[in-house]
C-alpha cells in the first residue's frame, strides 16, 4: 500500500515539474518573438460558427464584437440549436443590422456537434472558426491562427488561448490561475511532444478538408472538441496551440455549474479513450501514445486519491480494529510530502501566470494570491468528477444519439440581464443591495484566503527551517554535532534532483529528435484540395444544388433525421428555391 500512497504524492509532483519544463521550452521556442499579428500574403475566407442555445442575454454582444474583427475575409454563421428563449428573435433582428451575418435555425436541440455540422453545411469557406456564444474572440486572433494553416499543409486545427473575463467570484479567480498554470501549460507541453489531448472547444479553427476526411464532429459524444482532436491526429493531421490567439470566456461561478462542466469534460475524455483504444495498438499511431498513457495514468491517480480518502474515513470513523492497519491513513493534513507538493504547485502557478501575463496589460501574477485554493478545491472536484464519470461513461456508451447541452448559469449573465430589464428607483435600490452583498462576499473570501495562506505558511515554516538547518550542517559540519538521519534525507533529495534532471534531458532530447526528423521536411507538402459542394452534399445526404442554395441564403431552417442526415425545413426550401423538397419526400417515403 505504500506504493499506492507514494503514487498519490509523486504523480502530481512530477507532472507539475514536467508541465513547467514543457511550458518554458515552448515559451523559449515559440513565444519570445514580437506580439504583433503576422502579415499574411493572402487571406483565405474564414467562416466563424457560433452555436448557441438559450443565449439571448449575450448573443447580441458576441455578434457585434465579431463584426469588428480585423480579419478582412470572413462570414459569421450563428446556429440556433433549438433555443427556448428569445435567441432566435434576437438573431433575426441582427440579420437586419449585419449583412455578413447568416443564421441557421435547428427545429430542436440536437447538441453542439450537430449545430456545428449544420454550420459547416451552410459555410462556403475552407476554414471554420468555432467559438461559443458567450465568448469574445480577439480581433487579431484569426491572423495568428491562419498563419499556421498557410505555413503548414498538415495543420488540421489550431486552438487558441482562453482568458477568463468574469473575475468577480472566488471560483472565477481561481480559474484564472487554472487556465494559465494547468490548461495553458499542459497544451504547451503536449505540443512539445507533438500531440495535444484536445483543442479548446470555445476557441478553435479547423481546416474543412481535415474535418471532411474524419467525418466532422461526432454528435454522440458529450465533448465534441476532444473527439475531433483525436480523430484529426489519428488521421495524421497536426493540431497546434497558438497562445497569442486570445478569446475571452465566461467560466462557471458556482460549485454546481463547475461540477457539471468538469463531469462533462471527464466523461468526454473517457469516451475518446475508449473509442480510439484499438487505434493505439497500431504502430503508425504511436505519436498519440503519450496522450493516451497520460490520460489513463491520470485516471488511475484520481481513483488512488479517492481510495486514500476512503482509507482515511475508514480509519477515523470505523470502530477500532475493523479497518486493516496496513490501509490506515490517520490524517489528511499534509506532512512534509504535502508541503513539497504545495510548494511545487505554487511554483507551477507562478510560472504559468508569468507566461500568460504577457497577454494582459496588468499581468496575472497578482492572482497567485487566490491560487492557494486550487490544490484543496479543484483537485478534489477533478478527482471526484473522474471517479463518477468513468462508470457513467461506461453505462451510457453507445446509448446516446445526440448529446444535447444546457446553457450554464453564470453571474455575469444575470448581471447583464438585470441591467437591461430594471429601471428607475427599483434598479438603483436593487443595485445597491447587490453591491453590499458582493462587498460582504469579497471580504469573506479575502479573510478565508488569508487564513488559508497562514495555515500554509505554518506548515511550510518547519520545512524551510529544516532546509536551512541542513544547509548549516553542510557548511559547518566540522563545528556542529550532526544528528543522525540527515544522510537519508540528502539521498532522497539527490534522487529527486536526478529524476528532474532526467526529465529535462528526456524532454529536450525528444524536442530535438522531432525537430531533426520532422522539422526540416513536411510530409504533407501538397495543400489539401478544396471540398466541393458535391462532396459536402454526399456526406450530409443533400442534393448538390441544395447545398449551393443554402450557402447563398441568409436565414436557413434545418433539422436532422435519425440517421443524422440534414433535412431542410419547408420555410428554408421556399427561400432557397432548390430541389431539397424532392430529396426530403424521398427520405420520408
pLDDT tens digit string along 529-586? 788 888 888 887 777 888 888 888 888 777 666 555 666 655 444 333 344 543 443 3
Residue 379 C-alpha cell reads as 483537485
Residue 89 C-alpha cell reads as 428573435
Residue for grid cell 476526411: 213
**pLDDT given at position 408:** 55
| Residue of 35, 13, 32 whose CA lies nearest to 23 | 32
Beta carbons of 435 and 77 less than 8 angstroms apart: no
The pTM of this model reads: 0.83
How do beta strands 101-106 and 74-81 pair? parallel
- How far is the C-alpha of 301 from the C-alpha of 314, rounded, in Å? 20
**pLDDT given at position 576:** 39
* Burial class for 350, CB neighbours closer than 10 Å (0-12, 13-18, 19+): middle
106: phi then psi, degrees, rounded to nearest 5: -95, 140
DSSP 8-state class, residue 245: E
| Residue of 20, 17, 19, 10 whose CA lies nearest to 338 | 10
Give the contacts of 80 (CB within 8 A, at least 6 positions apart): 52, 53, 87, 88, 91, 103, 104, 105, 106
- How far is the C-alpha of 192 from the C-alpha of 188, rounded, in Å? 6
Helices vs strands, H then E, count in the chain: 20, 10
**pLDDT given at position 11:** 86
**pLDDT given at position 578:** 41
- How far is the C-alpha of 70 from the C-alpha of 359, rounded, in Å? 18
Kindly report the number of other CB atoms within 10 A of residue 392's CB atom. Answer: 16
- How far is the C-alpha of 375 from the C-alpha of 338, rounded, in Å? 10
Give the contacts of 501 (CB within 8 A, at least 6 positions apart): none
E-strand ranges in 133-233 read 136-137, 155-164, 203-207
| Residue of 567, 541, 543, 564 whose CA lies nearest to 556 | 567
Kindly indicate the confidence band of residue 373, based on its pLDDT and cuts at 50, 70 and 90.
Answer: confident
Find the range with the poorest average confidence among 39-43, 368-372, 494-498.
494-498
- How far is the C-alpha of 186 from the C-alpha of 20, rounded, in Å? 9
Amino acid at each position: 500500500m505504500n506504493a499506492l500512497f507514494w503514487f498519490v504524492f509523486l504523480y502530481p509532483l512530477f507532472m507539475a515539474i514536467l508541465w513547467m519544463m514543457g511550458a518554458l521550452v515552448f515559451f523559449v521556442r515559440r513565444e519570445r518573438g514580437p506580439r504583433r499579428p503576422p502579415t499574411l500574403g493572402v487571406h483565405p475566407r474564414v467562416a466563424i460558427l457560433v452555436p448557441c442555445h438559450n443565449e439571448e442575454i449575450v448573443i447580441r454582444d458576441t455578434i457585434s464584437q465579431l463584426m469588428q474583427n480585423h480579419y478582412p475575409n470572413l462570414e459569421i454563421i450563428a446556429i440556433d440549436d433549438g433555443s427556448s428563449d428569445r435567441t432566435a428573435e434576437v438573431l433575426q433582428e441582427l440579420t437586419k443590422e449585419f449583412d455578413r451575418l447568416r443564421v441557421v435555425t435547428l427545429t430542436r436541440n440536437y447538441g453542439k456537434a450537430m449545430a456545428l455540422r449544420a454550420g459547416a453545411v451552410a459555410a462556403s469557406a475552407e476554414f471554420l472558426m468555432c467559438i461559443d456564444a458567450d465568448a469574445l474572440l480577439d480581433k487579431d486572433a484569426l491572423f495568428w491562427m491562419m498563419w499556421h494553416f498557410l505555413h503548414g499543409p498538415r495543420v488540421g486545427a489550431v486552438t487558441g488561448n482562453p482568458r477568463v473575463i468574469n473575475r468577480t467570484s472566488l471560483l472565477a479567480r481561481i480559474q484564472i490561475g487554472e487556465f494559465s498554470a494547468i490548461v495553458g501549460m499542459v497544451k504547451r507541453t503536449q505540443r512539445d511532444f507533438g500531440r495535444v489531448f484536445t483543442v479548446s472547444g470555445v476557441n478553435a479553427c479547423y481546416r474543412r478538408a481535415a474535418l471532411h476526411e474524419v467525418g466532422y464532429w461526432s454528435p454522440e459524444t458529450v465533448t465534441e472538441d476532444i473527439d475531433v482532436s483525436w480523430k484529426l491526429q489519428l488521421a495524421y493531421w497536426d493540431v497546434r496551440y497558438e497562445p497569442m490567439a486570445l478569446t475571452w470566456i465566461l467560466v462557471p461561478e458556482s460549485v454546481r455549474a463547475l461540477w457539471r462542466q468538469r463531469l462533462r469534460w471527464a466523461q468526454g475524455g473517457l469516451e475518446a479513450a475508449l473509442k480510439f483504444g484499438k487505434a493505439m495498438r497500431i504502430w503508425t499511431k504511436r505519436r498519440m501514445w503519450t496522450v493516451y498513457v497520460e490520460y489513463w495514468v491520470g485516471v488511475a491517480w484520481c481513483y488512488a486519491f479517492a481510495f486514500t480518502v476512503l482509507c482515511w474515513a475508514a480509519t477515523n470513523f470505523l470502530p477500532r480494529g475493523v479497518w486493516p492497519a496496513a490501509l490506515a491513513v490517520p490524517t489528511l493534513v499534509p506532512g512534509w510530502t504535502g508541503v513539497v507538493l504545495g510548494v511545487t504547485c505554487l511554483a507551477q502557478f507562478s510560472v504559468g501566470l508569468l507566461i500568460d501575463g504577457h497577454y494582459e496589460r496588468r499581468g496575472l501574477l497578482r492572482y497567485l494570491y487566490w491560487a492557494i485554493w486550487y490544490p484543496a478545491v479543484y483537485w478534489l472536484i477533478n478527482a471526484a468528477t473522474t471517479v463518477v464519470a468513468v462508470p457513467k461513461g461506461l453505462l451510457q456508451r453507445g446509448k446516446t444519439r445526440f448529446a444535447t447541452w444546457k446553457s450554464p448559469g453564470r453571474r455575469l449573465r444575470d448581471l447583464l440581464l438585470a441591467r437591461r430589464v430594471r429601471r428607475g428607483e427599483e434598479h438603483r435600490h436593487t443595485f445597491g443591495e447587490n453591491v453590499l452583498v458582493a462587498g460582504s462576499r469579497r471580504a469573506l473570501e479575502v479573510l478565508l484566503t488569508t487564513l488559508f495562506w497562514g495555515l500554509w505558511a505554518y506548515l511550510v515554516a518547519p520545512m524551510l527551517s529544516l532546509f536551512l538547518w541542513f544547509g548549516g550542517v553542510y557548511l559547518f559540519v566540522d563545528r556542529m554535532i550532526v544528528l543522525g538521519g540527515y544522510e537519508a534525507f540528502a539521498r532522497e533529495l539527490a534522487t529527486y534532483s536526478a529524476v528532474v534532471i532526467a526529465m529535462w534531458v528526456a524532454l529536450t532530447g525528444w524536442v530535438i529528435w522531432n525537430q531533426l526528423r520532422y522539422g526540416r521536411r513536411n510530409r504533407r507538402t501538397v495543400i489539401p484540395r478544396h471540398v466541393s459542394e458535391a462532396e459536402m452534399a454526399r456526406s450530409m445526404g443533400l442534393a448538390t444544388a441544395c447545398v449551393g442554395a443554402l450557402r447563398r441564403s441568409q436565414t436557413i431552417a434545418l433539422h436532422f433525421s435519425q440517421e443524422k442526415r440534414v433535412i431542410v425545413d419547408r420555410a428554408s426550401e421556399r427561400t432557397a428555391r432548390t430541389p431539397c423538397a424532392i430529396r426530403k419526400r424521398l427520405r420520408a417515403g
